[in-house]
């Protein structure tokens, strides 16, 4: 999946909260659950630390998909962080959708520290979606002078 | 105030008194009950199946034909069916779409009608304290029990008529008319009318329980808002018996318009 | 569970909107049912039997017609299960079957005396025949 | 206009206020721009009329630091912006004397302003006195307000992309939208701050304008009163307010009706939450993909 | 440019099996800033750590990247290594090339490529790292216990016995709580007062404990180790120091219409009263709603008979300001009002009572002096029906009660049934139950004794209706085992009502920013491993405030909470996490948005003179209290100007990582 005939492989940034999702990713690793190497994880203390700037920056620098993972609602280590993140990301992704950016390039998923399998499954799904969408041209091109 | 009024088929026939006295009392209280120009049977029973659209259509028609903001009902059964159908209309998009497709109305029903029972009108719009002031013949000394039955109270979330387990609206009504309300535990249980034709014995059991409970508590007469309860409490009484009246008759009596 | 039973079970659950798995088997419904003694199967049994696919057994019982429809079990159920809705749905399902009518129009008219209110006759028409 | 001017003069005269923030007449009838008047003589140039579209709230942020009270004239929709600034402690209530001025809809050379076509009503969210003699002849356009947003939502993603590509490609990064926006009151904008990592003076990549407009909309989300100034001042005529309105529409639909500038300094939709909020996936279930 | 060293770990074959570690360390040598790069079999081993320390010295490294297993595993190890070698421990970054690389990929080339990217990202981040110092904050060595029931008393005693001062704030005029109202305790049938009152006395006599009764906590500010509480001590119109508790005033008081709260309002008490004989403090209180003197100015009888001169009609509420290092929530419970289940007739029938009311009816100090008489006509009940799970285990959609099991009802119902059968063998006792839940030491044996030895009639089923008929209560219910409906003509019906948190809990939770569940029970920091701590640092949970519990569990938890408090108060200073938010006052707009999203109340605003290039003015700016901030970062995203940043995870650090991954 991750090595294509054209040589293009998607670049995918995954922001994972330290307490649940990053631990979930570690668990996927200790369970030797495979997912594509295109996914690179950035550790943040909480999903509420993810600034829209980071996401746009990633797209600007050539990312093809960005996924944010946090604790399940109600389980946030900081009690309310993921609730804020949920609203923020809903708004940001809705706006990107409104600007005509493919919906499949952004995603939010709640992954607990116990859900290694869910983490791997989510990443496999997400990579596949981004793969079918192909290279992210729109976000880079939206202002391209005609 | 003008209210649309849905009498229902039974009030045009076997339960004429319920209707008659209601109109007389309403007039005495300055309430205008404007009968819907067109109405059919309410559907008689609220359907047991959520996919049963047809049984609720005539209730929807009545709601569509309502001109005023509030649709007043008198019969517990009609009230039950209309209020629940109206509730479904607001809550259940599938029902709304399918019923609209069936009826093809010129103007779609917007769900804005409020279905109110005449008792609710007395409580919420007139107020029992005000009602008390209008009483001409106080029913002093009479010990009257209210039989609520099931249709007015349940399901309580939809009907939101009164506390389903400890209702007081009819007791307050009786008190306003000058009589002594007698509360008894079985006033909110079922009279059994729906099985009266299938199995009279079942119906008799329910009636006996209710009457026994009422008599034990000291009731000397009963009032009801339901033609089914009326029929059953009278016709299927076995051991205990009590005179039963529609609440409107009692009201007309107290307002001095019974003979009019 | 065979195909037919599965279909019936799913239909009953769909049209009644009841989720029998919410039941904690406390027996409140049967404790509150006013017509308990007349019914062959009791409210709590309806919930458990539908969950176990014993639909035909329930449909062939007099119990579906002896439910008073008073909703006491619906109102008082602590688990929001509403057994009474199951009974009603089963009666409906029975009507929808071929030859499912419990009583014909003439039978109903014959049962009624002159004092029976119209509402009750209409209710019987609705409940006993298609 | 006469009443307002007379009242302003008397407040200046009796020393209640030190200066007046209003509008002055420019070259032609449509040229009516924000101005500061400090004495009776200067007040000669004062105008208020159907071309006083500019929202003066933003100027209050700076003016609030001046000595003595400033008289500011605010139209109903402007008061929302002012009140929002109060919530954010960007202005001090005591530093201003507010005349709420009745508004019959504002125009420019192209006719009625877009923001007035979707008028939010005649109520004043904050004022010291109201001078409102004329009846508002505009219908409040809340129902129509989202019409264009809905039109865009109903397009396909490709069409939307083409639309915005067409619009945003005209952006020249003049910052007029930012400078006029009463919600953009940062002492230093992230895009001007070398430490932020996103600073840019001249566009380096094609992406930067998009990033600017997306982030700007996001930063004012929940604080934007939909005053429409961004679109009004855009020299390229980019309908920037449609970006803000989309966010407003989403927030209203998902988190309950909210109007920035109303209420009692409550949290905005993005600084509050409920446990039952919709999951981000909800955007995939709506409209065209 | 800082000098960075990179250390690639093989982890035996765990990493080296799928990642060409040599290639990674070679590739890293070309990265700007990297002055040293190597690889080794086990970086976490003593030899590996020495290798790191040596390199730090030799190459004068400013920071290190260890490409190894998850930072959750060995970040601390390598931070200590760095620190020992003289490097700031926060100048260490870990590239997770095991769990998030070698273990999930099979292709070595691919794994190697990814490992290089991850290591580069770590270097990119590290280039923006700043040395961080963990701060410290002092600890006030005093503990506040909110609630003076058995939970609060036990916690207070344990903390006091360890040598620390404790204040108990109790809203009622006496400590003792619910346990003081109980007659006997299961499964031993000890007299509740006999085991509780000595503890109450012990608390009163302990010189480290201060009991502040008839009071409530009104405001709490501060953070772990440094709380400041405002306590309102309500006017009791009695000088506590003078009152001797002789109770003469109670006998003389002409107003006798106050409802006796201690006896569940089943009888009246005077306007001036001592809740019960063993009350602590044993001091009277005047109920201003009932006192004739306070209402009309006449009377004053109590003042005349009080030889101690303790009555003071002019007394006012008093506000106390106290400082604490730790706060224990022990707010307890009350029985739920069974009105939503009115088919059981509680509202209409005096002889339908709750179990706590029965406790009082059976207690020698209760309204019937311990003889079991039913409230309506004071006759001996001969037929008693108990109904369990009243208002417990209800679906949320029903509005009929609580979704949880109240845990204690099965056992106290068995206790009641047993005690009644023991004392009045001619009385029949029936218990309607759904399940009998007896998980506890000697619990099931106790329940079986009620059935086997005392002949209590347990009926599996529920009651649908309780209807008065004459002087009987007709109880109709299901008997599921016998497949029948039963009707019992009872004299007394006892409802085992659900317990719910005391209504004061919600506002206290808000005040403390201690999270609560939807039922208003306090949530614990970790359901399994930190059950007596709130997620909010410095707040501890004791007793039913956290969830339904019986007495021994409450006492155990109370002591556990105490041990956590002692662990905290024993420290002179607390080390704080240095990865906290920091506001750049030159950029701060003073808009308060960050303050609103902070779950810990760590952000405050103040007017301060701000100085910078070309700036010197007083501005309203945010200030983060580093001792309170937990470092979630919620504030950083809500800040439009980017003034708020999070140390250790700054905007620049994260964006550097993004860039490194994408380019």
Give tens-digit pLDDT for C62-111. 999 999 999 999 999 999 999 999 999 999 888 888 677 888 778 877 77
Asked if C27's CB is within 8 angstroms of E462's CB, the reply is yes
Closest CA to A58 of D126, D55, C69, E656: E656
SS3 E334: strand
What mean pLDDT is reported for chain C? Answer: 90
- Domain membership of residue A3 (yes or no) is no
CA distances from B35 to B67, D167, E288 (A): 10, 60, 57
If one counts every other C-beta atom within 10 angstroms of the C-beta of residue B99, the result is 24
E–D touching, 3+ CB–CB pairs within 8 Å: yes
- Look up residue B173 and give its two tokens: 């009504």
CB neighbour list of residue D58: distance below 8 Å, 6 or more residues apart: D81, D180, D181, D182, D185, D229
Q: Facing residues of E611 across strands?
A: E616
Closest CA to B61 of B101, B103, B94: B103
CATH, range B2-119: 1.20.1050.140
- Domain membership of residue A65 (yes or no) is yes
Give tens-digit pLDDT for D11-65. 999 999 999 999 998 777 677 889 999 998 899 889 888 888 899 999 999 888 8
Burial of E189 (0-12, 13-18, 19+ CB in 10 A): middle
Asked if B8's CB is within 8 angstroms of C119's CB, the reply is yes
For the segment E434-455, the average pLDDT, to the nearest whole number, is 96
If one counts every other C-beta atom within 10 angstroms of the C-beta of residue E606, the result is 11
For the segment B70-94, the average pLDDT, to the nearest whole number, is 94
Asked if D185's CB is within 8 angstroms of E586's CB, the reply is no
Does E582 reach chain A within 8 Å, measured CB to CB? Answer: no
What mean pLDDT is reported for chain E? Answer: 95
Contact C25, C31 (CB under 8 A): no
CA angle, residues E338, E343, E347, in degrees to nearest 5: 50
| Residue D271 DSSP label | G
Residues of B with Cβ-Cβ distance to C127 under 8 angstroms: 45, 194
Give tens-digit pLDDT for E270-322. 999 999 999 999 999 999 999 999 999 999 999 999 999 999 999 999 999 99
Give tens-digit pLDDT for B98-111. 999 998 888 889 89
Q: What is the CATH number of the domain that holds A43?
A: 3.40.50
Q: Which of A71, A99, A139, A145 to mutate to test the interface with D (most CBs of D within 10 A)?
A: A99
- What percentage of chain E exceeds 70 in pLDDT? 100
Which residue spans of chain C are classified as CATH 1.10.1060.10?
3-97
Closest CA to D226 of D151, D140, D136, D135: D140
Contact E65, E123 (CB under 8 A): yes
Residues of E with Cβ-Cβ distance to A41 under 8 angstroms: 96, 100
Does A54 reach chain D within 8 Å, measured CB to CB? Answer: no
Asked if A23's CB is within 8 angstroms of E632's CB, the reply is no
Residues of A in CB contact (< 8 Å) with E are 2-3, 11, 13, 22-23, 25-30, 32-35, 37, 40-46, 48-54, 57-58, 61-63, 77-81, 84, 88, 120
Q: What is the pLDDT of residue D142?
A: 62
Contact D2, D102 (CB under 8 A): no
- Domain membership of residue A4 (yes or no) is no
Give tens-digit pLDDT for B237-248. 999 999 999 999
CA distance C21 to A21: 32
Give tens-digit pLDDT for D101-124. 988 888 887 788 888 888 888 889
- Domain membership of residue A146 (yes or no) is no
SS3 E467: strand
Q: What is the pLDDT of residue E530?
A: 87
CA distance D164 to B54: 49
Q: Is the pLDDT of residue B29 over 90?
A: yes
E–C touching, 3+ CB–CB pairs within 8 Å: yes
Q: Which of B165, B183, B217 sits opposite E343 (nearest CB)?
A: B165
CA distance A64 to A39: 10
Burial of D218 (0-12, 13-18, 19+ CB in 10 A): buried
SS3 E118: helix
Strand E226-233 and strand E190-191: the pairing is unpaired
- Domain membership of residue A51 (yes or no) is yes
SS3 E64: strand
Does B168 reach chain E within 8 Å, measured CB to CB? Answer: no
Q: Which of A59, A96, A98 to mutate to test the interface with D (most CBs of D within 10 A)?
A: A98
For the segment E113-127, the average pLDDT, to the nearest whole number, is 97
Measured between CA atoms, how close is E432 to chain B, in angstroms? 20
Q: Is the pLDDT of residue E245 over 60?
A: yes
Counting one residue from chain B and one from chain E, the pairs whose CB atoms sit within 8 A come to: 27
Q: What is the pLDDT of residue A142?
A: 46
CB neighbour list of residue B71: distance below 8 Å, 6 or more residues apart: B3, B4, B5, B6, B36, B62, B63, B82, B113, B114, B115, B116
- Domain around A33: 12-141
Contact E56, E64 (CB under 8 A): yes
- Domain membership of residue A74 (yes or no) is yes
Q: Is the pLDDT of residue C31 over 50?
A: yes
Asked if C77's CB is within 8 angstroms of E464's CB, the reply is no
Measured between CA atoms, how close is E419 to chain A, in angstroms? 44
CA distance E177 to E193: 11
CA distance B172 to B129: 9
Residues of D with Cβ-Cβ distance to E640 under 8 angstroms: 186, 190, 219-220
| Residue A103 DSSP label | G
Does A95 reach chain D within 8 Å, measured CB to CB? Answer: yes
Q: Which of the following CATH numbers is that of domain C3-97: 3.30.70.890, 3.40.109.10, 2.60.40.10, 1.10.1060.10?
A: 1.10.1060.10
CA distance E648 to E637: 15
- What percentage of chain E exceeds 90 in pLDDT? 90
Where along chain B do its domains lie? 2-119, 128-255
The reply to whether the predicted model has a pTM over 0.90 is no
Asked if E485's CB is within 8 angstroms of C80's CB, the reply is no
Contact E75, E103 (CB under 8 A): no
Better-predicted residue by pLDDT, E210 or E614: E210
CA distance E100 to E121: 14
Q: Which of E104, E105, E633 sits opposite A48 (nearest CB)?
A: E633
Using 50 as the pLDDT threshold, list the residues of chain D that sit under it: none
Q: Is the pLDDT of residue E195 over 80?
A: yes
Using 70 as the pLDDT threshold, list the residues of chain A that sit under it: 1-6, 139-146
Measured between CA atoms, how close is B184 to chain E, in angstroms? 8
Q: Which of A15, A55, A74, A95 to mutate to test the interface with D (most CBs of D within 10 A)?
A: A95
Q: What is the pLDDT of residue B75?
A: 94
User: What is the number of structural domains in chain A?
Assistant: 1
CATH, range B128-255: 3.40.50.1860
Q: What are phi and psi of B29, to 5 degrees?
A: -90, 0
Measured between CA atoms, how close is C95 to chain E, in angstroms? 28
Give tens-digit pLDDT for E311-370. 999 999 999 999 999 999 999 999 999 988 999 999 999 999 999 999 999 999 999 999
- Look up residue B1 and give its two tokens: 């105030």
Q: What is the pLDDT of residue A141?
A: 46
If one counts every other C-beta atom within 10 angstroms of the C-beta of residue E222, the result is 19
Q: Which of E478, E481, E483 to mutate to test the interface with C (most CBs of C within 10 A)?
A: E478
Does E98 reach chain A within 8 Å, measured CB to CB? Answer: yes
Burial of D8 (0-12, 13-18, 19+ CB in 10 A): buried
SS3 E272: strand
Q: Which of D187, D218, D222, D272 to mutate to test the interface with E (most CBs of E within 10 A)?
A: D187
What mean pLDDT is reported for chain B? Answer: 93
């Amino acid at each position: 999946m991750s090595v294509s005939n054209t040589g293009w492989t998607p670049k995918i940034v995954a922001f994972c909260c330290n307490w649940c999702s990053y631990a979930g990713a570690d668990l996927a690793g200790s369970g030797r659950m495979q997912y594509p190497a295109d996914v690179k994880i950035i550790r943040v203390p909480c999903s509420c630390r993810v600034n829209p700037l980071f996401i746009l920056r990633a797209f600007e620098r050539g990312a093809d998909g960005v996924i944010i993972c946090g604790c399940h609602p109600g389980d946030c280590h900081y009690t309310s962080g993921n609730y804020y993140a949920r609203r923020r990301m809903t708004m940001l992704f809705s706006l990107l959708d409104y600007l005509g950016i493919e919906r499949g390039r952004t995603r939010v998923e709640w992954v607990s520290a116990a859900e290694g399998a869910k983490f791997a499954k989510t990443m496999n799904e997400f990579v596949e979606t981004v793969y079918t969408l192909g290279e992210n041209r729109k976000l880079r091109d939206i202002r391209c002078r005609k | 105030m003008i209210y649309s009024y849905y009498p229902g088929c039974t009030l045009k026939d076997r339960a004429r008194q319920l209707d008659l006295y209601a109109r007389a009392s309403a007039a005495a209280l300055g309430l205008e009950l404007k009968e819907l120009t067109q109405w059919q049977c309410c559907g008689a029973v609220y359907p047991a199946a959520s996919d049963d659209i047809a049984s609720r259509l005539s209730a929807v028609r009545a709601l569509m034909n309502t001109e005023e903001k509030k649709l007043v009902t008198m019969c517990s059964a009609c009230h039950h069916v209309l209020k629940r159908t109206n509730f479904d209309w607001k809550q259940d998009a599938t029902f709304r779409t399918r019923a609209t497709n069936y009826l093809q109305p010129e103007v779609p029903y917007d769900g804005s009608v409020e279905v109110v029972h005449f008792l609710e009108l007395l409580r919420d719009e007139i107020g029992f304290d005000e009602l008390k002031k209008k009483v001409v013949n106080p029913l002093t000394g009479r010990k009257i029990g209210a039989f609520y039955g099931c249709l007015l109270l349940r399901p309580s979330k939809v009907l939101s008529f009164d506390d389903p387990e400890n209702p007081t609206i009819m007791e307050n009504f009786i008190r306003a008319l000058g009589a002594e309300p007698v509360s008894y535990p079985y006033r909110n249980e079922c009279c059994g009318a729906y099985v009266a034709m299938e199995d009279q014995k079942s119906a008799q059991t329910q009636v006996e329980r209710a009457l026994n409970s009422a008599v034990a508590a000291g009731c000397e007469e009963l009032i009801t808002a339901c033609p089914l309860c009326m029929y059953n409490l009278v016709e299927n009484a076995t051991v205990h018996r009590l005179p039963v009246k529609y609440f409107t008759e009692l009201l007309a009596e107290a307002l001095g318009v019974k003979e009019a | 569970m065979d195909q037919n039973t599965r279909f019936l079970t799913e239909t009953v659950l769909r049209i009644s909107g009841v989720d029998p798995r919410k039941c904690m088997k406390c027996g409140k419904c049967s404790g509150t049912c006013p017509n308990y003694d007349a019914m062959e199967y009791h409210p709590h049994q309806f919930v458990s039997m539908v969950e176990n696919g014993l639909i035909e057994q329930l449909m062939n019982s007099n119990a579906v017609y002896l439910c008073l429809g008073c909703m006491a079990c619906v109102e008082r159920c602590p688990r929001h299960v509403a057994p009474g809705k199951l009974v009603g749905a089963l009666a409906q399902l029975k009507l929808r079957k071929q030859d499912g009518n419990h009583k014909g129009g003439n039978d109903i008219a014959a049962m009624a005396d002159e004092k029976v209110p119209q509402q009750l006759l209409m209710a019987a028409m609705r409940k006993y025949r298609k | 206009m006469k009443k307002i001017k007379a009242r302003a003069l008397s407040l200046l005269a009796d020393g209640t206020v030190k200066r007046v923030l209003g509008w002055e007449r420019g070259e032609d009838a449509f040229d009516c721009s924000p101005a500061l008047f400090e004495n009776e003589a200067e007040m000669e140039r004062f105008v208020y009329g159907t071309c006083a579209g500019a929202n003066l709230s933003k100027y209050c942020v700076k003016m609030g630091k001046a000595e003595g009270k400033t008289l500011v004239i605010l139209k109903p929709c402007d008061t929302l912006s002012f009140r929002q600034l109060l919530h954010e402690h960007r202005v001090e209530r005591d530093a201003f004397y507010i005349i709420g001025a009745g508004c019959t809809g504002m125009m420019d050379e192209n006719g009625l302003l877009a923001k007035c076509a979707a008028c939010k009503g005649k109520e004043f969210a904050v004022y010291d006195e109201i001078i409102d003699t004329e009846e508002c002849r505009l219908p409040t356009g809340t129902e129509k307000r989202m019409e264009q947003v809905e039109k865009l939502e109903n397009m396909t993603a490709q069409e939307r992309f083409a639309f915005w590509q067409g619009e945003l490609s005209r952006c020249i990064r003049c910052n007029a939208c930012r400078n006029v926006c009463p919600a953009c009151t940062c002492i230093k904008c992230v895009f001007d701050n070398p430490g932020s990592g996103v600073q840019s003076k001249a566009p380096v990549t094609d992406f930067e304008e998009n990033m600017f407009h997306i982030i700007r909309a996001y930063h004012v989300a929940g604080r934007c009163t939909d005053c429409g100034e961004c679109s009004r001042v855009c020299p390229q005529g980019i309908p920037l307010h449609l970006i803000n309105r989309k966010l407003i529409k989403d927030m209203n639909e998902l988190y309950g009706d909210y109007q920035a500038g109303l209420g009692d300094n409550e949290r905005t939709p993005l600084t509050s939450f409920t446990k039952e909020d919709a999951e981000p996936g909800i955007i995939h279930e709506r409209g065209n993909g | 440019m800082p000098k960075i060293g990179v250390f690639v770990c093989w982890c035996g074959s765990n990493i080296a099996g799928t990642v060409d570690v040599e290639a990674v360390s070679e590739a890293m040598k070309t990265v700007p800033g990297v002055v040293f790069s190597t690889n080794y079999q086990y970086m976490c081993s003593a030899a590996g750590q020495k290798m790191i320390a040596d390199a730090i010295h030799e190459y004068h490294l400013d920071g290190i990247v260890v490409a190894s297993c998850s930072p959750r595993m060995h970040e601390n190890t390598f931070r200590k290594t760095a620190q020992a070698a003289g490097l700031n421990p926060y100048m260490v970054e870990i590239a997770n090339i095991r769990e998030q690389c070698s273990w999930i990929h099979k292709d070595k080339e691919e794994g190697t490529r990814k490992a290089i990217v991850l290591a580069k990202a770590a270097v990119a981040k590290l280039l923006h790292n700043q040395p961080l110092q963990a701060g410290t904050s002092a600890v006030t060595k005093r503990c506040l216990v909110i609630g003076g029931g058995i939970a609060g008393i036990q916690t207070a005693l344990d903390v006091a016995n360890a040598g620390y001062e404790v204040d108990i704030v109790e809203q009622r005029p006496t400590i003792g709580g619910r346990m003081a109202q109980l007659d006997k305790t299961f499964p031993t049938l000890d007299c509740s007062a006999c085991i509780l009152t000595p503890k109450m006395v012990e608390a009163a006599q302990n010189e480290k404990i201060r009991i502040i009764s008839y009071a409530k906590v009104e405001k709490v500010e501060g953070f772990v180790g440094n709380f400041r509480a405002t306590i309102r001590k309500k006017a009791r119109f009695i000088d506590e120091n003078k009152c001797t508790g002789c109770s003469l005033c109670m006998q003389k008081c002409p107003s006798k219409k106050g409802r006796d709260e201690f006896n569940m309002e089943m009888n009246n008490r005077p306007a001036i009263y001592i809740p019960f004989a063993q009350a602590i403090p044993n001091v009277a209180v005047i109920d201003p709603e009932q006192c004739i003197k306070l209402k009309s100015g006449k009377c004053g009888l109590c003042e005349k008979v009080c030889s101690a001169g303790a009555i003071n009609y002019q007394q006012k509420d008093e506000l106390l300001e106290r400082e604490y290092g730790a706060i224990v929530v022990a707010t307890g419970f009350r029985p739920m009002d069974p009105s939503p289940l009115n088919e059981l007739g509680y509202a209409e029938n005096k002889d339908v009572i709750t179990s706590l009311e029965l406790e009082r009816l059976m207690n020698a100090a209760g309204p019937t002096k311990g003889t079991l008489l039913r409230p309506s006509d004071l006759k001996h009940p001969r037929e008693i029906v108990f109904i369990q799970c009243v208002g417990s285990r209800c679906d949320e959609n029903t509005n009929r009660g609580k979704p949880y099991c109240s845990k204690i009802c099965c056992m106290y119902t068995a206790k009641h049934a047993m005690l009644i059968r023991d004392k009045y063998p001619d009385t029949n006792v029936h218990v309607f139950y759904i399940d009998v839940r007896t998980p506890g030491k000697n619990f099931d044996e106790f329940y079986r004794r009620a059935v086997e030895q005392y002949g209590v009639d347990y009926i599996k089923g529920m009651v649908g209706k309780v209807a008065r008929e004459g002087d009987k209560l007709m109880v109709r219910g299901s008997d599921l085992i016998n497949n029948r409906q039963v009707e019992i003509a009872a004299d007394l019906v006892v409802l085992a009502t659900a317990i719910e948190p005391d209504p004061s809990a919600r506002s206290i939770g808000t005040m403390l920013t201690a999270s609560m569940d939807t039922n208003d029970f306090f949530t614990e920091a970790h359901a399994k491993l930190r059950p007596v701590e709130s997620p909010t640092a410095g707040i501890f949970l004791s007793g039913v405030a956290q969830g339904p519990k019986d007495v021994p569990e409450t006492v155990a938890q109370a002591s556990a909470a105490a041990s956590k408090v002692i662990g905290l108060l024993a420290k002179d200073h607390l080390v704080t996490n240095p990865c906290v938010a920091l506001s750049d006052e030159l950029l701060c707009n003073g808009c308060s948005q960050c303050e609103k999203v902070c779950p810990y109340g760590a952000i405050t605003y103040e007017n301060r003179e701000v100085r910078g290039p070309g700036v010197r003015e007083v501005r309203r700016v945010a200030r983060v209290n580093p001792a309170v901030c937990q470092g979630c970062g919620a504030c950083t995203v809500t800040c439009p100007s980017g003034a708020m940043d999070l140390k250790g995870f700054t905007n620049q650090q994260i964006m550097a990582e993004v860039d490194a991954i994408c380019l």
